[in-house]
Amino acid sequence: MSIILQILVFFLIFLSTALVVGIPVILASPGQWEKLKDSVYKSAAVWSALVIFIGVFNSFVQ
């Protein structure tokens, strides 16, 4: 179970890094926000769900 938690945390770190780098680039690029707005919102929703899921899953790992 511990390896699953580590994989989930790795994915969270990867997604966090991608969002921290990608969102300012999208906002700074002319016209990109309109095209990629849905992707940004979906990525933020996945990130939020992953944080909650990792928190719940962590309570079962010793």
Average pLDDT of the chain is: 95
> Can you give the residue ranges of every domain in the chain?
2-58
Work out the percent of the chain whose per-residue pLDDT is above 70: 100
pTM above 0.95, yes or no: no
CATH of domain 2-58: 1.10.287.740
pLDDT digits (tens, 9 = 90+) for 10-39: 999 999 999 999 999 999 999 999 999 999
Q: How far is CA 11 from the centre of its chain?
A: 8
pLDDT at 62: 72
Q: Which residues of 31-47 are buried (b: 16+ CB within 10 A; e: fewer)?
A: eeeeebeeebeebeeeb
**pLDDT of residue 7 exceeding 90:** yes
Residues 6+ apart with CB under 8 A from 13: none
